[in-house]
Amino acid sequence: MITCEECKGACCKEISVEIDTPLDLEDWDVIKWMVAHENVAVYQDHEDDWLVEFKTKCSKLDFNSRCTIYKVRPKVCSEYPVDDCIMNADEPAEKIRFETMEEVEKYIEDVVKIELLKKEEEKRLVNTEVCEV
């Protein structure tokens, strides 16, 4: 396991913020807009949470990627578990990751539209069964 002493500040070079799970094409359009920006990605983690990631280095890292305010660093930094460090992961941090609009559009065509059609069909069948009763 890589310790913080061996690390190159991987967790200090991006910020990930949880977003709502995309439910419809309008939500997916927002994701396309997000990834159209430089150094921004959107991903779903292994807990099925959706996050937007901003690749931006902490201004308190020195040229060796070491924290210059280590003793007074924010609580979120001091409590970040080493086990959660991406440097110690056995698998990628995300199940799905989008960095370009084209990746999102392909996913919409290959997966999202099919899922939305299935949901519509299920609703139609339930409504048909209710009407017949």
pLDDT digits (tens, 9 = 90+) for 37-66: 999 999 999 999 999 999 999 999 999 989
The reply to whether 4 falls in a domain is: no
Domain membership of residue 60 as a residue range:
10-132
Looking at 45-49, 75-79, 86-90, 110-114, which range is the least confident one?
A: 86-90
Q: Residue 54: what pLDDT?
A: 98
The reply to whether 19 falls in a domain is: yes
pLDDT above 70 for 124: yes
- Distance between CA 119 and CA 125 in Å, rounded? 10
The reply to whether 75 falls in a domain is: yes
| Order of strands across the sheet that contains 40-45 | 15-19, 50-54, 40-45, 94-98
The reply to whether 78 falls in a domain is: yes
The pLDDT mean for the chain works out to 89
Instruction: List Cβ neighbours of 68 (8 Å cut-off, separation of 6 or more).
Output: 60, 61, 62
The reply to whether 49 falls in a domain is: yes
> SS3 for 45?
strand
pLDDT above 70 for 79: yes
Here the tokens at position 127 are: 């409504």
Look at the chain and report how many structural domains it folds into: 1
- Distance between CA 65 and CA 12 in Å, rounded? 8
Burial class (CB in 10 A: 0-12, 13-18, 19+), 88: middle
The reply to whether 115 falls in a domain is: yes
pTM to 2 decimals? 0.80
The reply to whether 2 falls in a domain is: no
Tell which wins on pLDDT, 6 or 65. 65
How many residues in the chain?
A: 133
The reply to whether 3 falls in a domain is: no
